[in-house]
Structure 1
Amino acid sequence: MSKTFYIETFGCQMNAHDSEKVVGTLEQQGYAQVQDEADAGLILYNTCSIRDKAEQKVFHRLNEYKKLQGEGKKFAVIGCVAQQEGEKIFDKAPYVSIVAGSASYRNLPGMLDRLERGDSRITGLDDKKTTETFETPFVARTNPHRGYITIIEGCDKFCAYCVVPYTRGNERSRTAASVMEEATRMADAGFTEIQLLGQNVNSYRDPSGKMTFAELLQAVGTIPGIRRVRFTTSHPRDFTKDIVDVIDATPTLCDHIHLPVQSGSSRILKAMAREYTREWYLERIAWMKAAKRDLSLTSDIIVGFPGETDADLEDTATLLDVVGYDAIFAFKFSPRPNTPAEHLADSLSDEVKSARLQILLDRQREIQRINYDRHLGQVMEVMVEGYNKARNQIIGRSSQNKTVNFTTTQLIMPATGTYHQVRITQTFPNSLVGEALAAPGRVQ
């Protein structure tokens, strides 16, 4: 087997960061990353099981490339589908050699040694309680300016529809000291933006008892060289007012909070086992709207949960109006393996779910059009992410996590990772357009 590898990542930021750990470990073991499956000796799929038919998509992808097995290539399925399906993957796809869950990546060197010796059924499973997953020593970060730090793994909430507790295990937090050490190393290496990650990031509990989540946010935000701190994803049950207070008090904490609601109906929230009501959720929204800073609010919504009526859908639609989200990520309900909702009677057709989803998306688009209009004429600090040659625009992102495309009168295009003051001259429902006010300069 050639010591080259190709990795494809599905899913959330945590999966993306997990892939950075896997890539770093593989490179430390002497493997070289390639950009095409045909050039790789080892092909890895880092999988996500949140959405409908995730495992079928993985097997379909594997089936597309099983012909490459005859060329001596090896396959690995890692991540949530690997943890969910386990050794059944070997039965369904005998050409797969490694099946490993996210808590086992620190053991990859040993798995690779076995692979090179000719072993063909190598597993890294049933390790969902370890805290050692945080200390993966090798990380190949894909962005030299913005980086992820996982501060909590797993979930104890057991929402009726969610597979995460079964694939990622129980909640385990790393010590605040180790988070600060990693964040400081990143700042010293030139990173200016850090995003703290967790399935329920604000459920963080410092094992040493020294910091609350809000205090950790503030501490990371005061590290010299750090310009922005983000966090995702929060759970309403553990969202406390001190989080809003510390954002108000710490300029480096970004003006954006993602707080998934899933439904605007208290009846459906109870069926989902979310353990809060519409009113309880709106109290947290009121804290954010009372903040001194203009906070951008985003959320996740599930449409068509078993038992959802037209009245429940209207409750969700009116919640959009009340909150005025800057963006939502809305999905049709699909039963996931091992979850309580898998066994609920799902009486809604896919056509009805699709129609209900479109109702929400249409209403949200109008809300976003109005929301984005409020930025017209404002000056925003924008971090450069790239360049759109076709439009001759620089692509950036604001503290509110909004895309800002802008132009500059400077002859030299600003470098990726630099920050610029941009006046907003045009608005769209999903992006802003502006003009840079000052000459570009590298962040020191």
Structure 2
Amino acid sequence: MPLVKAPDEASTKTFYIETFGCQMNVHDSEKVIGTLEQQGYTKVETEEAADLILYNTCSIRDKAEQKVFNRLNDYKKLYKQGKRFGVLGCVAQQEGEKIFERAPYVSLVSGSASYRKLPEMLVQLELGGQRITGLDDRQTDQTFETEFTARSNTHRGYITIIEGCDKFCAYCVVPYTRGKERSRTSTSVLAEARRMADAGYTDIQLLGQNVNSYRDTEGKRSFAELLVAVGEISGIRRVRFTTSHPRDFTRDIVEAIDAVPTLCDHVHLPVQSGSSNVLHHMQREYTREWYLERIAWIKSARREISMTTDIIVGFPGETGEDFEQTISLLGEVQYDAVFAFKYSPRPNTPAITMADSIPEEEKSIRLQALLDRQREWQRANYAKHIGQEMEVMVEGYNHARGQVMGRTSQNKTLNFTTRQPILPAVGSYQQVRVTQSFPNSLAGEAV
């Protein structure tokens, strides 16, 4: 049976996909969409209009996982109408065939490392197959590369340069759902970046669970050298990368940002805790002092580099003193944004065997205290930009407020007004003078 049906049949094959979780999942969905469209499927905007309903899942936190099963339960009635359901991504890899028991109307379960087999799995679905699985061993060396990526933004695009994780932090399920670390060749990454630049993309974001753990299998370039090479491609104006791990954050990354103007002056460097004791139990394999040394590199750069981080509160055994060390770290680093979460046990992780000694109420109190303190630092940090001129990439319009919405190279939202009769195009770049600041955004006027 051919993988692609005749054109007159293609229009009858429709699919809906909903994505949960991180930018890696968003980009995975772009590749899944491109693959499905290449196989003759048409994307629709609702579950009711689709023949095939797909949920690309996240299992980092319990809430994200529950959302998927709630969504499946909400729409299971459509199964009687002949709709087919598929669960993709991290929850699929984590739960495997148990999903069929929990949701018998699901026909397809596939982890992210198996997306390259999607055409074959689609054929099985079309032939009436049930309980079709794509579940890979974490030792796979294969990555999911496809020229059929259906990018949702025509100006800003993602490139996955490394998949999987070998860090095995005590709280994290990613090594078990995404497999071991495996990098693409720098040649393939640069070829994709050039194709994107030729297609009009100006803002490129390099992705990986630990993006700076990248190891060029050709041995040609380090991660910092790859950043520089992407940043030097004609037509590209901004290069970002996420997410970094402190253990692999090297000084040459800062030197590259200093040397190449197209590399964005923003680093997201998750710390998770300000206490060396908690970091030890988290199996992060660095100390507070090690982390702050890397922060010192960033602060010593010639460019002013914005810093953001991730923090977990209420990890098993975290004392009040440990938590205060995290609060003190906020003041020492002065992040521009913090993404903070309460610890929740995840399947298969070492931390699940630890006594979760922090009551849920106390976790909530600590989380709010951290967010309140961080809000003070952000308010002060953002206020420093008043009077500055900053380059903004236009992302859209808020007609109710009469503002153009945009983002700076420091990854800060900067909404602005313009006196020009024609609004600047989405994807264009504008010089904006900052006139107001808020804890999470800036406002200004086009120069």
Provide the TM-score with structure 1 as the length reference: 0.97
Shift of 1:127: 4.5
Q: In 2, Cα distance between the equivalents of 1:135 and 1:11?
A: 20
8 Å contact from structure 1 (residues 173, 207) kept in 2:
yes
Q: CA deviation at 1:128?
A: 3.7
Give runs of aligned pairs for residues 349-388 of structure 1, distance below 5 A.
349-388=359-398
1:350-386 Cα deviation digits (max 9, x unpaired) = 1100000000000000000000011000000000000
Q: What residue number does 1:124 align with?
A: 134
- For 1:243-282, list aligned pairs within 5 A: 243-282=253-292
2:246 paired with 1:236: yes
Matched, 1:392 2:402: yes
Query: CA-to-partner distance for each residue in 1:11-44, whole Å, 9 max, x for gaps?
Result: 0000000000010011111111111111111110
Distance 2:26 2:96 in 1: 21
Change (3 A) 1:54 1:432: closer
The equivalent residue for 1:46 is 56
Deviation >4 Å, runs of 4+ = none
Q: What's the secondary structure of 2:224's corresponding residue? A: helix
Alignment correspondent of 1:220 = 230
User: What is the Cα deviation at residue 348 of structure 1?
Assistant: 1.2
Equivalence map 1:265-344=2 (5 Å):
265-344=275-354
CA contact 1:129–1:172 (8 Å) conserved in 2:
no
**Contact 2:413/2:440 (CA < 8 Å) preserved in 1?**
yes
CA offsets, 1:46-96, max 9 Å, x none?
A: 000001244332222111100011111000000000000000001111100
Contact 1:217-1:229 at 8 Å conserved across structures: yes
In structure 2, how many angstroms separate the alpha carbons of the residues matched to 1:394 and 1:428? 16
- 2:270 counterpart letter in structure 1: P
> Aligned partners of 1:343, 1:129: CA distance in 2, in Å?
24
Query: How do 1:141-180 and structure 2 match up within 5 A?
Result: 141-180=151-190
2:436 counterpart residue number:
426
- How well do the aligned residues superpose, as a CA RMSD in angstroms? 1.0
Secondary structure of 1:38 counterpart:
coil
Contact 2:100 2:131 in 1 (8 A): yes
Tell me if 1:30 matches 2:40.
yes
Letter in structure 2 aligned against 1:124:
G
Deviations 1:91-148 (A, max 9, x none): 1111001000001111111111110100011111025444442422310000010000
Asked if 1 retains the 8 angstrom alpha-carbon contact of 2:386 and 2:434, the reply is yes
Residue 7 of structure 1 aligns to a residue in which SS? strand
2:14 paired residue number: 4
Residue 101 of structure 1 pairs with residue 101 of structure 2: no
3-state SS, counterpart of residue 162 of structure 1: coil
Match of 1:114 among 99, 115, 124: 124
Q: How many residues get paired?
A: 437
Query: Which residue identity does 1:365 align to in structure 2?
Result: R
Q: Residues 399-414 of structure 1: matches in 2 within 5 Å?
A: 399-414=409-424
CA contact (8 A) 1:134 1:174 kept: no
Does the 8 A contact of 1:131 with 1:174 survive in 2?
no
Q: Deviations over 1:136-174 (max 9, x none)?
A: 231000001000000000111100000000000110011
Partners of 1:283 and 1:390 lie apart in 2 by 45
- Identity of counterpart residues, as a percentage? 74
Mapped contact 2:342–2:364 kept (Cα < 8 A): yes
Letter in 2 for 1:97: S
Deviation string, structure 1 residues 391-426 (Cα, Å, up to 9, x no partner)? 110000000000010011111111110000000010
Secondary structure in 2 aligned to 1:206? coil
- The aligned residue for residue 72 of structure 1 is 82
Q: 1:53 to 1:412 in 2, by over 3 A?
A: closer
The one-letter amino acid paired with 1:247 is I
SS of 1:147's equivalent in the other structure is strand
TM-score, normalised relative to structure 2: 0.97
Structure 2: tracts of 5 or more residues without a match: 1-8
Give the counterpart letter for 1:120 in structure 2.
Answer: Q
State yes or no: 1:198 paired with 2:176.
no
Which letter does structure 1 place at the counterpart of 2:418?
A: T
SS of residue matched to 2:65: helix
Paired residue type of 1:141:
R
